[in-house]
Amino acid sequence: MKQGAQVLLIDDNPVIRQLLLESLAAESDVSSFSGAREALLKAQTEEPDLIISDFRMPGLSGLELLAQLRVSHPQVAVIMMASRADIHGPLAGAAPLVEEFIEKPFLVAETMQRVRRVLERIAVSKAMSEGANSTSVRGTLAQMSVIDLLQTLDMGRKSCRLRLSYAAQECHMLFHDGQLVHATMGEIIGEEVVYKVAGWPEGSFQIDFERVECIRTIRHSTQAVLMEALRLFDEAQRDAAEELPAKPVSRDPFASHELAAGD
């Protein structure tokens, strides 16, 4: 999926800022700032799609930035970088307003994977808001999971066709005014399809925004189906974990550690 998102990156640490800037430049149109106030000024003249900000900074903190953004730019996605203590402390109440929390210190590669998933969701939402019948959106499930994808389509309240592919398997879903109404995968039809594909770890998707024939094989709401899919997925994960033998504890005092970006 082609990314055209406008991203504002804010961190008072020049090393971290440069590391993320170099990685983000290939994914989006990014502007970087050492402080939140100058980033807010930029946001007044150029509507951002995503803001990635440190929490503890001189002047305006990340939490104060978030409060102002929710007044001036309520739709902008925010990724907040902070320590574990801050995420579970002063930032705990802000969780519903933040797209992702990045715990410091972090590995740049892992952080970029999470940023790409947010950019994918932004791109899908943009395409849905345009609403053109000819619009087609493609992406990978490694960047945007099946659950995230279905939730985004549900919130968009658009009619579309969704095709999911993984290995030799392929499934098709129909959405009518945001509600999942029909799903097929081979001979499997209905809600059972969602339960089987919800845990696909990789693959690809294609969304074609168009009016669909109102075939209905799914009787429950999209949210109800997703809740059951998550329950079944978690149950399968627990069962798989219980079957694994205990992992021996490493006694190697020279075990290697990857370099991470911190404060």
Residue 225 domain-assigned (yes or no): yes
First to last CA, the chain: 32
Question: Which whole-number Å values give the CA distances from 112 to 23, 58, 148, 249, in the listed order?
Answer: 7, 25, 17, 30
Amino acid identity of residue 50, one-letter, is L
Q: Is residue 67 within 8 Å of residue 59, measured between CB atoms?
A: no
User: Rounded to an integer, what distance in angstroms lies between the CA atom of residue 250 and that of residue 121?
Assistant: 39
Q: Is 91 in the same domain as 187? A: no
Residue 136 domain-assigned (yes or no): yes
The model's pLDDT over 138-188, given as tens digits with 9 standing for 90+, comes to 888 877 788 888 888 887 787 889 999 999 999 999 998 889 999 999 999
Q: Is 113 in the same domain as 162? A: no
Q: Is 98 in the same domain as 189? A: no
Structural domain containing residue 221: 132-242
Of 23-32, 101-110, 209-218, give the lowest mean pLDDT range: 209-218
Residue 238 is classified by DSSP as H
Residue 244 is classified by DSSP as S
Q: Is 50 in the same domain as 137? A: no
pLDDT at 50: 94
Residue 258's pLDDT band (cuts 50, 70, 90): very low
Closest C-alpha to 149, from 192, 120, 126, 176:
120
pLDDT at 262: 63
The model's pLDDT over 12-51, given as tens digits with 9 standing for 90+, comes to 999 999 999 999 988 789 999 999 999 998 988 888 999 9
Q: Is 106 in the same domain as 149? A: no
Residue 252 domain-assigned (yes or no): no
- Kindly state the helix (H) or strand (E) to which residue 136 belongs, with its residue range: strand 136-140
Q: Is 199 in the same domain as 230? A: yes
Question: Which whole-number Å values give the CA distances from 185 to 40, 182, 221, 223, in the listed order?
Answer: 47, 11, 19, 20
Q: Is 154 in the same domain as 72? A: no
Which one has a higher pLDDT value, 196 or 215?
196
What's the pTM value of the predicted model, to 2 decimals?
0.65
The model's pLDDT over 61-77, given as tens digits with 9 standing for 90+, comes to 888 888 888 888 888 99
Q: Is 147 in the same domain as 91? A: no
The CATH number covering residue 72 comes to 3.40.50.2300
Mean pLDDT score across all residues of the chain: 84
Please tell me the total count of domains within the chain. 2
pLDDT at 20: 93
Q: Is 228 in the same domain as 203? A: yes
Residue 260 domain-assigned (yes or no): no
Break the chain down into helix, strand, coil percent, rounded to 5: 40, 25, 35
Residue 230 domain-assigned (yes or no): yes
Q: Please say if the pLDDT value at position 246 is more than 70.
A: no
Residue 250 domain-assigned (yes or no): no
Residue 125 domain-assigned (yes or no): no
DSSP 73-97: -TT-EEEEEEEHHHHTTTTGGGGGG
